[in-house]
Amino acid sequence: MSVTAQSVWDNCLSFIKDNIQPQAYKTWFEPIMPVKLANKALSIQVPSKFFYEWLEEHYVKLLKVALVKELGNTARLVYIIKMENTYGNKKPFTEKIPSSNRSGLRAQEIDVPTKNKSPELKNPFIIPGIRNVKIESQLNPNYNFDNFLEGDSNRLARSAGMAVANKPGGTSFNPLLIFGGVGLGKTHLAHAIGVEIKDKYPEKTVLYISAEKFTQQYIESVKKNTRNDFIHFYQLIDVLIIDDVQFFSGKSGTQDVFFHIFNHLHQNGKQVILTSDKAPVDMQDIEQRLLSRFKWGLSAELQTPDFETRVSIVKNKLYRDGVEMPDDIIEYVAKHIKSNVRELEGAIISLIAQSSFNKKEVTIELAKQVVEKFVKNTKREVSIDYIQKVVSDYFQMDVSTLQSKTRKRHIVQARQLAMFFAKKFTKASLASIGSQIGKRDHATVLHACKTVDNLSSTDKQFRKYVEDLTKKLSL
Ligand X SMILES: Nc1ncnc2c1ncn2[C@@H]1O[C@H](COP(=O)(O)OP(=O)(O)OP(=O)(O)O)[C@@H](O)[C@H]1O
Specify binding-site residues for ATP: 183, 185-187
Name the DSSP letter for residue 181: S
The residues near 172 (Cβ < 8 Å, ≥ 6 apart) are 297, 298
User: Which range binds ligand X by CB under 6 A, 106-114, 147-155, 326-334, 446-454?
Assistant: 147-155
Interaction of residue 315 with ligand X, rule CB under 6 A: no
Closest distance of CB 427 from ligand X, Å: 11
- Other beta carbons less than 10 A from residue 455's beta carbon: 18
Strand partners, 78: 43, 98
Nearer CB in complex with ligand X: 37/286? 286
Closest distance of CB 346 from ligand X, Å: 9
CA dihedral of residues 348, 351, 353, 359 (deg, nearest 10)? -150
Site for ligand X in 219-278 (CB under 6 A): 277
Nearer CB in complex with ligand X: 189/197? 189
Nearer CB in complex with ligand X: 344/455? 344
For residues 104 to 143, the per-residue mask of contacts with ligand X, x marking binding by CB under 6 A and - elsewhere, is ----------------------------------------
Nearer CB in complex with ligand X: 230/247? 247
How far CA 34 is from CA of 64, 71, 133, 328, 355, in Å, comes to: 15, 14, 46, 35, 21
Interaction of residue 44 with ligand X, rule CB under 6 A: no
The residues near 115 (Cβ < 8 Å, ≥ 6 apart) are 53, 56, 57, 142
Nearer CB in complex with ligand X: 53/70? 53
Nearer CB in complex with ligand X: 49/186? 186
Q: At what angle do helices 460-474 and 384-394 cross, to 10 degrees?
A: 130
Nearer CB in complex with ligand X: 86/147? 147
Interaction of residue 342 with ligand X, rule CB under 6 A: yes
Closest distance of CB 333 from ligand X, Å: 14
Gap between the terminal Cα atoms of the chain: 62
Dist. CA 157–CA 153, nearest whole Å: 9
Is residue 371 a contact partner of residue 336, using CB atoms and an 8 Å limit? Answer: yes
Nearer CB in complex with ligand X: 5/162? 162
User: Which range binds ligand X by CB under 6 A, 26-34, 48-56, 146-154, 231-239?
Assistant: 146-154
Is residue 27 a contact partner of residue 357, using CB atoms and an 8 Å limit? Answer: yes
Q: At what angle do helices 211-223 and 227-235 cross, to 10 degrees?
A: 140
Using the Cα atoms of residue 107, residue 112, residue 118 and residue 124 in order, give the sign of their dihedral: positive
Q: Which of 139, 239, 329, 341 binds ligand X (CB under 6 A)?
A: 341
Counting beta carbons within 10 angstroms of the beta carbon of residue 296, is it exposed (0 to 12), middle (13 to 18) or buried (19 or more)? middle
Dist. CA 61–CA 388, nearest whole Å: 46
Interaction of residue 154 with ligand X, rule CB under 6 A: yes
- Amino acid type, 250: G
How far CA 468 is from CA of 160, 391, 462, in Å, comes to: 45, 10, 10
Residue nearest to ligand X (CB): 185
Site for ligand X in 168-197 (CB under 6 A): 180, 182-188
Site for ligand X in 397-456 (CB under 6 A): none
Closest distance of CB 115 from ligand X, Å: 10
User: Which range binds ligand X by CB under 6 A, 58-66, 122-130, 338-346, 457-465?
Assistant: 338-346
Nearer CB in complex with ligand X: 78/193? 193
Q: Which of 63, 107, 241, 313 binds ligand X (CB under 6 A)?
A: 313
Interaction of residue 339 with ligand X, rule CB under 6 A: no
Closest distance of CB 208 from ligand X, Å: 12
Nearest by Cα to 55 from 88, 12, 108, 2: 12
Q: Which of 147, 226, 339, 456 binds ligand X (CB under 6 A)?
A: 147
Residue numbers in the known binding site are 183, 185-187
Binding site for ligand X (CB under 6 A): 147-149, 154, 180, 182-188, 277, 313, 341-342, 345
